[in-house]
Amino acid sequence: MSCDVGLIPYSALFLLVMFCAATLSAAPMPPAAPTQAQITVLYDAFGKSSDMHKDWGYAALVEYGGKRILFDTGNNPDILAHNAQVKGIDLSKLDFVVMSHRHGDHMGGLSYVLKVNPAVKIYAPKEGFGVYGADLPSTFYRKDASLPPEQRYYDGAPPDIIRFGSAWPGANSQLVDRNTEIAPDIHLIALCRTSREPLNCVSCR
């Protein structure tokens, strides 16, 4: 990947240190107290041998400020389901899901999450033609008035905004293209945007 992301509440250094510690533990984790912060890695290709299945991809449960946040969903829904069970994590009890970017190894388990928690709020990066769905002004494509109507999009009279479908059309998704506070002291930070590239990943701070 050309960029990576992290879900980091306001005290970034503290939770980065916690993150490093969390990756070392494979035992079931008790729920964090409302005033504590805890990250439980659910999907990864590293670590000591355990009942967890290793696979390419990433997912972690972040507990902070009384919120339960699933950050990414790994590569395979069955492996995510297995690893969550091993860790004693109930993914039907989430406040929201944050999808960092659109690569399959970070969003492949979303179908399992939606199976057990179909109404969960999902924050995902907004892209012009992204898999999470999006929209663009119809000015994004070149128009040629010399062509006959049947050779022009929408007979030459497109809507002002063109909307694009999602791979999960029934999901409760909110697309993010700017820094957004999604809960007290939990912020989504838009990254990887240039004047020529669409936003394709988000982080949290």
Q: In this structure, are 24 and 90 located in the same domain?
A: yes
pTM above 0.85, yes or no: no
The per-residue pLDDT for 33 is: 56
The pairing of beta strand 96-98 with beta strand 121-125 = parallel
Query: Is 59 inside a domain boundary?
Result: yes
Element (H, E) at 163: strand 161-164
- Nearest CA to 44 out of 55, 33, 32 is that of 55
The per-residue pLDDT for 14 is: 22
Judged by DSSP in three states, 16 sits in helix
Residues 14-67 pLDDT 10s: 222 223 333 333 345 455 555 578 999 999 999 887 899 999 999 999 998 889
CATH of the domain at 43: 3.60.15.10
Question: How many structural domains is the chain composed of?
Answer: 2
Residues 71-122 pLDDT 10s: 999 999 999 999 999 999 999 999 999 998 888 888 899 999 999 999 999 9
Residues 159-197 pLDDT 10s: 999 988 888 888 998 888 878 888 888 888 877 544 444
Q: In this structure, are 57 and 103 located in the same domain?
A: yes
Helices (H), 63-118: 77-87, 104-107, 110-116
Q: In this structure, are 175 and 113 located in the same domain?
A: yes
Whether residue 172 contacts residue 121, with contact meaning beta carbons closer than 8 Å, is answered with yes
Q: In this structure, are 74 and 145 located in the same domain?
A: no
